[in-house]
C-alpha cells in the first residue's frame, strides 16, 4: 500500500542514453497510479534556471572561441541554475510529499565538469555544501549506452544542444565517470539502455515500486 512521502529520483547518463525518455515514462506511469509526482530537469526546471540554461547553451555555439566562458564561469552558471531549481522547485515539492523525478543532477556536474573539464572538485563540493544542505536523491538511475545506440538517437534529434556535439572520447570518458560515481552505492542502479524495447522502463518501475510500495 502506497503511503505518501517525499521521494527524489534522478536519471543520469551521457547524451543519447534515453534518460529524458525514461524519466517521462516513469512520470507517466506514476501519474497513472495516482502518485503525486513532478518531472523536472537540470540545468533548468524553473523560469530563472531555464534562462541560465539558454545562456550556457548559447555560449557553447559561439563561433568566437576568445569570447567563450571560462570553465569556472560555466560551472558557476550550472550551480546558480541548480540553486534556483532546488529553492523554487525541488524542495517545495518534497515538502509537499511529492515524488520528484529529475533529468540530471549533481553527478552530471562531476562527470562533465570535474572528470571531463578538470574543474577542481573542492570548488564544486564547497558550493554544493551550501546549496544542497541535506538534500540527496533517494534513487539514482545511471543509464549505460553503447556508442552506436547513442549516435543513432542523437542523429534523430530535431533540436540539438551543446552536449550533442562532443567527441566520442568525451562521451566514453563521461560514461566511465558516471559508472565510477555509482559504484558500490546502494541507491544507485546502473542499467543497460542500448536496446529500444520496453524492458528497461519495466525494470525502472519495478525498482521504484519496491521503494515506494505502490
**Could you tell me the CATH superfamily of domain 7-43+94-212?**
P-loop containing nucleotide triphosphate hydrolases (3.40.50.300)
The residue among 48, 39, 46, 21 whose CA lies nearest residue 201 is 21
Compute and round to an integer the Cα radius of gyration of the chain.
17
**Is the pLDDT at 16 greater than 80, yes or no?**
yes
In this predicted structure, what is the pLDDT of residue 200?
96
In this predicted structure, what is the pLDDT of residue 172?
84
Output the CA angle 74-94-189, nearest 5 degrees.
Answer: 70
Cell numbers given for 96: 509537499
In this predicted structure, what is the pLDDT of residue 149?
63
In this predicted structure, what is the pLDDT of residue 158?
58
SS (H, E, C) 72-95: HHHHHHHHHHHHHHHHHHHHHHHH
Quick one: pLDDT band at residue 171, thresholds 50, 70, 90? confident
* pLDDT tens readout for residues 52-73: 999 988 877 666 767 789 999 9
Q: Where are the domains of the chain?
A: 7-43+94-212
* pLDDT tens readout for residues 26-45: 999 999 999 999 999 999 99
**Is the pLDDT at 159 greater than 80, yes or no?**
no
42-45 contacts, C-beta under 8 A, 24 or more apart:
42/78, 42/81, 42/82, 42/85, 42/102, 42/103, 42/104, 42/105, 42/108, 43/77, 43/78, 43/81, 43/82, 43/85, 43/104, 44/81, 44/85, 45/81, 45/85, 45/89, 45/90, 45/102
In this predicted structure, what is the pLDDT of residue 59?
76
Amino acid at each position: 500500500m502506497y503511503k505518501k512521502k517525499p521521494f527524489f529520483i534522478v536519471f543520469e547518463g551521457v547524451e543519447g542514453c534515453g534518460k529524458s525518455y525514461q524519466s517521462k515514462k516513469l512520470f507517466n506511469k506514476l501519474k497513472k497510479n495516482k502518485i503525486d509526482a513532478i518531472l523536472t530537469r537540470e540545468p533548468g526546471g524553473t523560469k530563472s534556471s531555464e534562462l541560465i540554461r539558454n545562456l550556457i547553451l548559447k555560449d557553447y555555439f559561439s563561433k568566437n572561441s576568445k569570447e567563450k566562458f571560462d570553465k569556472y564561469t560555466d560551472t558557476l552558471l550550472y550551480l546558480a541554475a541548480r540553486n534556483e531549481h532546488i529553492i523554487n522547485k525541488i524542495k517545495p515539492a518534497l515538502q509537499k510529499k511529492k515524488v520528484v523525478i529529475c533529468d540530471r543532477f549533481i553527478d552530471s556536474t562531476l562527470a562533465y565538469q570535474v572528470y571531463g573539464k578538470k574543474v577542481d572538485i573542492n570548488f564544486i563540493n564547497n558550493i554544493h555544501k551550501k546549496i544542497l544542505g541535506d538534500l540527496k536523491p533517494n534513487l539514482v538511475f545511471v543509464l549505460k549506452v553503447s556508442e552506436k545506440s547513442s549516435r543513432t538517437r542523437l542523429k534523430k534529434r530535431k533540436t540539438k544542444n551543446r552536449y550533442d556535439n562532443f567527441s566520442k572520447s568525451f562521451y566514453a570518458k563521461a560514461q566511465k565517470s558516471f559508472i565510477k560515481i555509482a559504484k558500490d552505492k546502494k541507491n544507485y542502479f546502473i542499467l543497460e539502455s542500448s536496446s529500444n524495447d520496453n524492458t528497461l522502463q519495466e525494470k525502472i518501475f519495478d525498482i521504484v515500486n519496491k521503494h515506494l510500495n505502490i
